[in-house]
């Protein structure tokens, strides 16, 4: 039977799970902020060096060569890959926590149903089994959704990797020609 202690325990578990997810989200934000700061610092240094080199350039051809050297798509692709890695890791943590929370909720629900069955009138067993079957079907649907999301994430990561590799190869070919 549901009572205030059971309800309070469920609320405590929900609050704990919420704070755990918030902590994971903040870790992801912290990693993104660190990456952005590192990237901004590197770009600032590259820009300062380019400005010094531009001031030292003696003719327009030197300026054009300098400008061509500033375009570095491999850095952009590396940054995109790092962002994708951070987001994937954060999403993975969220998925793991959601799966754990769903399993705990299902177990608690089934335990509550079992406790209610003990106090149920004769003939209620069929309804209880129907309810348990519905909970099981909902759990299976949730797992299928998680698997689909996982596959979509893996496909997106594969696309980012393929794009990074293609851009790196194109840059290498252009560098050999130039």
Is the confidence at residue 95, as pLDDT, over 90? no
The pLDDT, as a whole number, for residue 35 is 97
Rounded Cα gap, residues 168 and 102, in angstroms: 42
Whole-model pTM: value is 0.66
Rounded Cα gap, residues 103 and 123, in angstroms: 29
Say which residue, 176 or 150, is predicted with more confidence.
150
And the tokens for 123? 């003939």
Contact present, 39 and 33 (Cβ < 8 Å): no
- What band does 57 get if pLDDT is binned at 50, 70 and 90? confident
User: Which of 62-71, 79-88, 113-122 is the least confident region?
Assistant: 113-122
Rounded Cα gap, residues 138 and 24, in angstroms: 26
Q: Where do the structural domains in the chain lie, given as residue ranges?
A: 4-177
């Amino acid at each position: 039977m549901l009572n205030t202690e059971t309800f309070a325990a469920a609320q405590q578990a929900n609050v704990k799970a919420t704070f755990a997810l918030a902590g994971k989200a903040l870790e992801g934000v912290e990693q993104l902020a660190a990456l952005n700061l590192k990237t901004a610092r590197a770009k600032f240094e590259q820009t300062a060096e380019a400005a010094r080199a531009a001031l030292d350039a003696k003719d327009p051809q030197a300026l054009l060569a300098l400008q061509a050297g500033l375009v570095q798509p491999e850095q952009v692709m590396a940054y995109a890959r790092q962002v994708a890695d951070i987001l994937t890791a954060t999403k993975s943590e969220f998925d793991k926590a959601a799966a754990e929370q769903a399993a705990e909720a299902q177990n608690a629900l089934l335990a509550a149903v079992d406790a209610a069955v003990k106090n149920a009138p004769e003939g209620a067993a069929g309804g209880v089994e129907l309810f348990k079957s519905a909970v099981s079907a909902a759990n299976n649907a949730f797992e299928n959704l998680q698997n689909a999301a996982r596959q979509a994430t893996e496909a997106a990561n594969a696309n980012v990797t393929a794009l990074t590799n293609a851009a790196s190869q194109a840059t290498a070919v252009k560098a050999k020609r130039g």
